[in-house]
């Protein structure tokens, strides 16, 4: 899943095309949603730009299927479907591109930079979501949009973390191989388990991977993240502050877990 970001330099690889879990052609809504999520993964977004993209994502989610977000048992399944659909669309920079963007850094320093940037990005998503919610609470509460805002924030955070996982694999010499669907499925499984991708497992498509135990694992992890994002709805700006802090901490912990796992695999490979 080695790709340049949305502001790819000349000669860079094109953005990943969207592939649905059921191998269907993506709809116009799905394509726009994928583009919005991909844009939200950039690590140099200004707060105003992030709020604008988060607002656009809320609109994309409304068009994707508003009703299911309000059914507790269906909401997580719905989010897992959306995350699965947009995962192949997330731009993962290859090692050469990362070296060009962050010159002079060794592997560990580069990993530190990526983890820090991803944590700032997800913290910014939480702050942006909290800011939107605080505006809603000043006026009569717009409860209709609350579940959609939470879903948008959760999906955006997962996308940033999937990009981080893919790029950490690039840094430590273990790029995720296979087709777009296979790479997306491997990254989703890695995110759910907070472990590096096991290269010995046979590659399978997103629909196959997430149609078994991995889908349940993804849904369970998404449920935890969705619940944590409820802090976004705190009164005034307290929701923004708490959501931003929790997102930063969770992303940093995820990055450190993945890096630790990749280091072990690399050491074993060198010893072997």
Which tens digit of pLDDT belongs to each residue from 59-118? Answer: 888 887 655 555 666 777 888 888 888 999 999 999 999 999 999 999 999 999 999 999
- Position 23 confidence tier, pLDDT thresholds 50, 70, 90: very low
Tracing tokens 């969207």 back to the chain, one arrives at 18
Spatial contact of 89 and 35, defined as CB atoms under 8 Å apart: yes
Q: Which residues contact 249 (CB under 8 A, 6 or more apart)?
A: 119
Residue spans of beta strands (DSSP E) within the chain: none
CA angle 165, 31, 183 (to 5 degrees): 30
- Position 226 confidence tier, pLDDT thresholds 50, 70, 90: low
For 4, other C-beta atoms within 10 Å of its C-beta total: 21
Characterize 161-181 residue by residue with b for buried, 16 or more Cβ atoms within 10 angstroms of its Cβ, and e for exposed: bbbbbbbbbbbbebbbebebb
Dihedral, CA of residue 10, residue 60, residue 163 and residue 232, to nearest 10: 130
DSSP summary character for residue 27:
P
Q: Which residues contact 15 (CB under 8 A, 6 or more apart)?
A: 3, 6, 8, 38, 89, 91
Distance CA 200, CA 97 (A): 26
> Of all residues in the chain, what percent carry a pLDDT higher than 70?
67
| Mean pLDDT for the chain overall | 76
Q: What pLDDT does 144 receive?
A: 45
- The helix (H) or strand (E) run that includes residue 216 is helix 213-228
- Position 199 confidence tier, pLDDT thresholds 50, 70, 90: low
Residue spans of beta strands (DSSP E) within 57-108: none
| Residues recorded for the chain | 272
């Amino acid at each position: 899943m080695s790709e340049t970001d949305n502001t790819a330099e000349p000669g860079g690889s094109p953005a990943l095309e969207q592939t649905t879990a059921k191998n269907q052609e993506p709809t116009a809504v799905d394509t726009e949603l994928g583009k919005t999520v991909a844009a939200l993964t950039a690590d140099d977004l200004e707060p105003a730009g992030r709020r604008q993209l988060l607002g656009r994502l809320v609109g994309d989610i409304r068009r994707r299927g508003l009703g299911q977000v309000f059914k507790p048992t269906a909401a997580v399944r719905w989010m897992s479907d959306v995350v699965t659909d947009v995962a192949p669309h997330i731009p993962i920079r290859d090692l050469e591109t990362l070296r060009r963007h962050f010159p002079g850094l060794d592997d560990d320093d580069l990993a530190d930079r990526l983890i820090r940037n991803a944590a700032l990005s997800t913290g910014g998503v939480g702050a942006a979501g909290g800011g939107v919610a605080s505006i809603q609470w000043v006026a009569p509460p717009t409860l209709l949009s609350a579940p959609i805002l939470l879903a948008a924030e959760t999906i955006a955070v997962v996308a940033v973390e999937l990009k981080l996982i893919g790029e950490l694999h690039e840094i430590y010499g273990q790029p995720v191989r296979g087709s777009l669907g296979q790479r997306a499925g491997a990254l989703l499984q890695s995110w759910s388990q907070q472990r590096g991708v096991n290269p010995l497992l046979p590659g399978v498509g997103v629909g196959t991977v997430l149609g078994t135990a991995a889908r349940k694992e993804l849904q369970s992890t998404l449920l935890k993240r969705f619940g944590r994002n409820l802090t976004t709805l705190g009164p005034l700006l307290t929701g923004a502050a708490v959501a931003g802090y929790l997102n930063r901490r969770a992303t940093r912990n995820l990055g450190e877990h993945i890096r630790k796992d990749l280091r072990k695999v690399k050491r074993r490979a060198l010893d072997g």
